[in-house]
Structure 1
Amino acid sequence: MTARKLLAAALLAVISVPAAASVQVIGSSSARLCYEAADSALTPSADDLGRCNTALRDEALSRADMVATHVNRGILFMRRGLTERAIADFDMAIAMDPAQAEAYLNKGAALMRQENAGDALPLFTASLERNTMRPELAHYGRAMANETLGNVREAYNDYRRAAELSPEWQEPRVELQRFRVVRR
């Protein structure tokens, strides 16, 4: 497995953990169940995706809940290995609400899975600029994209920032151990 594939797999594993970048929906609707599936550590089922589809097709969702449901369904698609469908949902969420930070974060993760660090990098930055709820994941993803692109200093700085933002999270610390800082 290439270094780029390893980095993409690591990011997908991190972003696919519960509450990685899902968007909360309030209530007891199918949209809420879609959110709960995106927020869960369990592998999403076809029923979980069906709930998202039902919400988007049949429920009178507010614009915010519709955007959130696209992000959440995209997460489920990504976790099931349906990357193109995930990207389509993230794109729909961005088109409906260009300020939706989690859509940028998750699309960046999906592009890393496709070994497209060049297109993923600005998406991680966009998620930070839009105040993502998980800035540590955005810094980690951006670090991996930068490292893949040969931007070692930027990668190191983002791994370090991810570690600062989430001191209990081990992955950024593990990545930082591979670097050697030389002061000139």
Structure 2
Amino acid sequence: MLKGALLASITVMAFAVAGAAEGAITVLGGALAKDCSDAAIRGDDDPRFQEACTLALETELLNPRDRAGTFVNRGVLKLRRAAYSDATQDFDAAVRLQPEMGEAYVNRGAASIGRKRYADGLRDINRSIELGVSEPEKAYYNRALAHEGLDDPKSAYFDYQKALEIAPDWAAPREQLTRFSVSRR
């Protein structure tokens, strides 16, 4: 965190909202739910995979965790197509089914960031960090985006740093950090 007065002033070169990071859920349910899960994990955004998710939700017998995970995965596919409102509906459904599923909150937060609702995004992302997520670096990265949207570059800087600390090979937070200038007062 902050080391005394050493990092007293943090300025950002330019704020441009980068794409939020999303987290998919591994679902072991029926074949369609697994196809949906695999597509979300792979990073696909083809609408036919979204349809597989919908069919899985309509036709497959899924336990509550896999059902919620399928809503999250379909929401992730919608996020990739910038269908933020539709994605939010899926994340809301996942939260109703499994209120302790951190990935539903981090992704709903990402959708809020996409809609420029930074305070809502921050609230959900903080909840996801409390609950725990499989890829916490994405939660910190998204929280940094929310902080930037709320004109809090100092908090954004530290969250990008945390994301990079967790995933040192991930280029996205490293690239964002190049926009910051840190100086002593």
Structure 1 unaligned segments of length 5 or more: list them.
none
1:69 equivalent in structure 2: 70
Instruction: Indicate the percent of aligned positions where both proteins have the same amino acid.
Output: 37
Amino acid at match of 2:23: A
Question: Are 1:34 and 1:72, in contact at CA under 8 Å, matched by a contact in 2?
Answer: yes
Amino acid at match of 1:84: S
More contact order relative to length (CA 8 Å, sep ≥ 6): 2
* Larger helix percent: 1
1:11 equivalent in structure 2: 19
Determine helix, strand or coil for the equivalent of 1:180: strand
Distance (whole Å) between structure 2 residues aligned to residue 82 and residue 182 of structure 1:
39
Query: What is the CA-CA distance between 1:27 and the residue it aligns to?
Result: 5.2
1:168 equivalent in structure 2: 169
Amino acid at match of 1:157: F
1:43 equivalent in structure 2: 45
Distance (whole Å) between structure 2 residues aligned to residue 176 and residue 80 of structure 1:
26
Query: What is the CA-CA distance between 1:41 and the residue it aligns to?
Result: 2.9
Structure 2 unaligned segments of length 5 or more: list them.
1-13
Question: Are 2:30 and 2:62, in contact at CA under 8 Å, matched by a contact in 1?
Answer: no
Amino acid at match of 1:35: S
* Larger strand percent: 2
The 5-angstrom pairing of residues 46-125 of structure 1 reads 47-125=48-126
Distance (whole Å) between structure 1 residues aligned to residue 114 and residue 144 of structure 2:
14
Q: TM-score, normalised by structure 1?
A: 0.87
Question: Are 2:109 and 2:122, in contact at CA under 8 Å, matched by a contact in 1?
Answer: yes
Question: Are 2:105 and 2:124, in contact at CA under 8 Å, matched by a contact in 1?
Answer: yes
Distance (whole Å) between structure 1 residues aligned to residue 73 and residue 160 of structure 2:
26
Q: TM-score, normalised by structure 2?
A: 0.86
Distance (whole Å) between structure 2 residues aligned to residue 78 and residue 122 of structure 1:
18
Q: Deviations over 1:99-144 (max 9, x none)?
A: 1111111111111111111111111111111111111111111111
Q: What is the root-mean-square deviation in Å for CA atoms of aligned residues?
A: 1.6
Distance (whole Å) between structure 2 residues aligned to residue 11 and residue 139 of structure 1:
13
Distance (whole Å) between structure 1 residues aligned to residue 29 and residue 145 of structure 2:
36
- The count of aligned residue pairs is 172
